[in-house]
Homo-oligomer: A and B are copies of this chain.
Amino acid sequence: MNFEQVTIVGPGLLGASLAMALRDRNACGKIVVWARSPERVKDCSGQDWCDQADQNLEAAVSGSDIVVLCTSVESIPAFIPEVAALLSERMLLTDVGSVKKEICHAGAIHEGRGMGTFIGSHPMAGSEKSGMKYARADLFEGKPCIVTPSKNTQEPVIRSLHEFWEKVGMKVHQMDPEEHDRCVAHVSHLPHFLSSSLAHCLEGMGENWQSLCGQGLRDTTRIAEGNPNLWEQILMSNKSNVLAALEELERSISLAKNYLAKEQGAELREFLEAGVHYRKSLNTSNE
């Protein structure tokens, strides 16, 4: 599929980076950006990655081959019917939300009504920074993107969406929305929860140890700097999966705690070795 015109709804870190990447790689013709506020419309107008900036959703969507919802994860389900009503049959609607079940449920309602096709996407390219000012053309390069079609989605349309993300350099994977949410609960939301808990714990101690902190603490707490509004939404949207993952983690923690308390050195070493093995398996994937 050729993407003649792309509409990006919400020019935040992901939305603006997507526009930059599309322009940089000459991956589409016209790029239209919808923004809620007149100030933001002004910010986008005249950027080389934005051919038209609009506050009017109908005008922004009209004539596009693909519309990408890049607003906050919380706001996406409500956006879907609003945008879907404006689509023609051949148009593709997707999003960048990091939790998919609720979003894909909202998308499925509109399926088969001749209003285009919704397929969820999760480009895993976030950062602890958020907002347009941190946007970069290479944000997506080499990163994974999970697309989450429903059972009824037609194969050629799924293919088009794969191609779309591949055009900005992503490695595309496919899962159903439930599997996606369970996966990211473990590999993304749990690490964030943990990193924030460690930072919260140390903040609460009120000790003046900052200058004694090494790279290990800096690395383990880096993502704790992420936007609290965004992460509150993400954790809440994926509540049951995050709580289940957390329970699994708590089992690991108490295992190691017992080995330490009872001075079971060999068992503790074996525990640490399992962690080494896991970490090494990440190195051989796509670091």
Which A residues fall within an 8 A CB radius of B? 124-127, 143-144, 146, 171, 173, 183-184, 186-188, 190-205, 207, 209-226, 228-229, 231-232, 235-236, 239, 242-243, 246, 248-253, 255-257, 260-261, 263, 265, 268-282, 284-287
Residues of B within 8 A of A285 (CB): 210-211, 213
Cross-chain contact A196 with B275 (CB below 8 angstroms): yes
Interface of A is mostly: helix
* Number of identical protomers: 2
Residues of B within 8 A of A186 (CB): 202, 205, 207, 209
Cross-chain contact B187 with A212 (CB below 8 angstroms): yes
The 7 closest A-B pairs by CB, nearest first: A199-B275, A203-B278, A228-B272, A196-B275, A224-B275, A201-B252, A210-B285
Given A239-B263, A246-B257, A253-B197, residue A191 in contact with residue B220 (CB < 8 A): yes
Between-chain CB contacts (< 8 Å), 5 pairs: A199-B279, A200-B278, A221-B278, A225-B280, A228-B272
State how many angstroms separate the Cβ of A177 from the closest Cβ of chain B.
15
Residues of B within 8 A of A217 (CB): 187-188, 191, 282
Given A199-B274, A239-B261, A279-B221, residue A228 in contact with residue B269 (CB < 8 A): yes
Cross-chain contact B279 with A260 (CB below 8 angstroms): no
